Structure 1
Amino acid sequence: MSEPNRSLEKSLANLQRTIEERTAKEGKPTEAEKHAHKTADIIQLPLWPEVTRGTPNSFLRGALFAAIQGKEREYFKGKMLATREGIKIRYTGMQLDQSDLDVWEQAAELARAHPLGNVCHFTIHGFLKALGRNTGNKDHEWLKDVLRRLTASCVEVTHDRYTYGGSLLEFVHDEEKKTYILSLNPKILSMYKAGWTAIDWDIRQKLRRKPLALWLHGYLSSDAENYDTKIETIHRLSGSKTKELWKFKQNLKNALTDIEAATDGQIKATIEGDIVSFERFCTSTQARHIAKKSRKKALPKTPK
């Protein structure tokens, strides 16, 4: 979903003007600005509505951000994670969960509004409020731990022809001003070119602290069509730590009930045996995508 050339040229012009204005006021542009200017052709986050959070499909269709509780984390060293066909993820670092995904999504939301496209400035207090969380000392420490975890990780993601290898973000903390400057590696934004989804932020807020429901909502949102899916497949892709499949099936039923309530019935599911069938109303964008695929299938094949 890359921007048209005209939009890209406009963004580059705005970036150049921003650097020139800052240079006139402060002297030389910062190293981050110089680097961003050099790589501006790949630092363009897609446009998504403010009530959503744009997330690469590779983050949603596997166990990178697993459906686990924080206490269940493991340390992985070059582990191949479960993913959908067409995606490969090798991961080193402390295992990530759905609350880590919340933080990454909020960072991307703030970064897309910044002139450089991959940097955001914030206070811990303000960031926590944006996440809908409490703002006490315990919550401040929680967010700092998430930032360390996302920074310390090494992710190798391959989706179609695009591959990224590196950390998920970097940050600088200004002790005096009590602010953070957080940056996403410009190269990781290539993952958006392989496909991304606008996740409904209000629904994620309703599903907080329900990791399997959160994971499943993101997984379903990344597809325009409904697919019958084996319970075993959902268990594997979600990274669940529940060993017994019968017990996971019970957890899945509860998660589906939570999703139906959070979406006001927009997403429903039935389980028959070991198969889950989904029923949901498509967004206008998803409906256009399905119609486009149908038209392509209907076109007669060109004889060789």
Structure 2
Amino acid sequence: MDKLKRMQERNVRGKEAEPSAPAAEPVQPSAQVIRLPLWGEGMRGVPNGLLRSALFGAIAKGKRRFIKGEQIAAIEGVEIRYTGERLDQGDLDVWESVLHLARVQALGDECRVTSYALLKLMGKTDTGKNRTTLQTRIERLRANAVTVKQGRYSYIGGLVDEAYKDEETQAWVIVVNPKLHALYATDQFTQVEWSVRHALDGKPLAQWLHSFYASHAKPYPMRIETLHKLCGSETARMDHYRQDLRKALDAVTAACEAHGEGFSYEIRGNLVHVEKKPSRAQRRHLAKEPRKPRG
């Protein structure tokens, strides 16, 4: 018994002498890389809520009105509040181009591009005047605050987070807020055909209409007054706007036909009826919709 007791004591002392295992290093969570959806070179991806509103309005060139915390006209289901100089279709061209470049890298990373490359992407020549206009538009996109509620998500921030420029090399560094990704949920953004949009350059109402209808898989009839409000038109007289609308729709029809994108319209009374060919993504969306029972 004494021998057994001494062996047990030695075992206990041996265990106390053994070094304890080192504590495991805490696992550091890896930073989540946030990216925009990828779209083709000939397309431009834009959140539906922005295309279905007056945020990037169909307005003429010239002095801009400054807006402070104003609610922007938008289609039902979208809420937009904006502070800054009014934005137009030229500003949308620049913003689309920045997002087009940013889509191949993590949002929040520095997007590096020269004025020449950015202008070329927009189909413009690299002239002193165009460089000045480009800088003005980037400044306008940076110096604003926007709140966009689209679907279950809201985005509050600027359309461009940061922008730097090397005046000697004309190299830009532009940063887009990663939170903008919330507006690019499935079925919440549209791939706009760039060739058609570029063909309509200089026709802001036609550009707005093309993008607006591109964001709809199956357009429904719209009142002329509703389109006037949604596009942010500054035309006061509705008879003048009606004439402008018809010319713009004719331009969209011609540009779409020239680039193989089906589009036709008819104005019946006070309603605009549009027929268009839905994109592949929109056809998938339509296929998911429940079929209405036949009466």
Q: Identify the TM-score tier after normalising by the shorter chain.
A: 0.7 to 0.9
> Tell me, what secondary structure is at the counterpart of 1:248?
helix
Give % identity: 41
User: Which consecutive residues of structure 2, in runs of 5 or more, have no partner in the other structure?
Assistant: 1-29
User: Which consecutive residues of structure 1, in runs of 5 or more, have no partner in the other structure?
Assistant: 1-36, 299-304
Answer whether contact 1:39 1:186 (CA < 8 A) is retained: no
Query: Normalized per residue, which structure has more helix?
Result: 1
In the alignment, is residue 192 of structure 1 matched against residue 184 of structure 2? yes
In the alignment, is residue 65 of structure 1 matched against residue 61 of structure 2? no
- 1:53-72: CA deviations, max 9, x gaps? 11111110100100011215
> Tell me, what secondary structure is at the counterpart of 2:120?
helix
**Deviation at residue 172 of structure 1 after TM alignment:** 1.5
Instruction: Give the number of aligned pairs.
Output: 260
Question: 2:92 matched to which residue of 1?
Answer: 101
1:137 to 128, 134, 139: 128
Q: Using structure 2 for the length normalisation, give the TM-score.
A: 0.84
Question: 2:265 matched to which residue of 1?
Answer: 269
Answer whether contact 2:59 2:205 (CA < 8 A) is retained: yes
Write out aligned runs for 1:155-304 (5 A): 155-169=146-160, 170-193=162-185, 195-264=188-257, 266-295=262-291, 297=292
> Tell me, what secondary structure is at the counterpart of 2:164?
strand
2:204 & 2:112 partners in 1: Cα distance?
28
- 1:45-96: CA deviations, max 9, x gaps? 0121111011111110100100011215211011101001111111100000
> Tell me, what secondary structure is at the counterpart of 2:98?
helix
Amino acid of the structure 2 residue aligned with 1:70: K
State the structure with more CA Rg.
2
- 1:148-201: CA deviations, max 9, x gaps? 000001111111221111111021223454311111111122111271000000
2:114 to 112, 123, 143: 123
**Deviation at residue 226 of structure 1 after TM alignment:** 2.0
2:145 & 2:60 partners in 1: Cα distance?
21
2:50 & 2:85 partners in 1: Cα distance?
16
> Tell me, what secondary structure is at the counterpart of 2:191?
strand
- Output the aligned Cα RMSD: 1.8
Question: 1:90 matched to which residue of 2?
Answer: 81
2:109 & 2:246 partners in 1: Cα distance?
38
Stretch of structure 1 that moved more, 62-71 or 170-179: 170-179
Q: Using structure 1 for the length normalisation, give the TM-score.
A: 0.81
- 1:74-121: CA deviations, max 9, x gaps? 110111010011111111000000110111111011011235575421
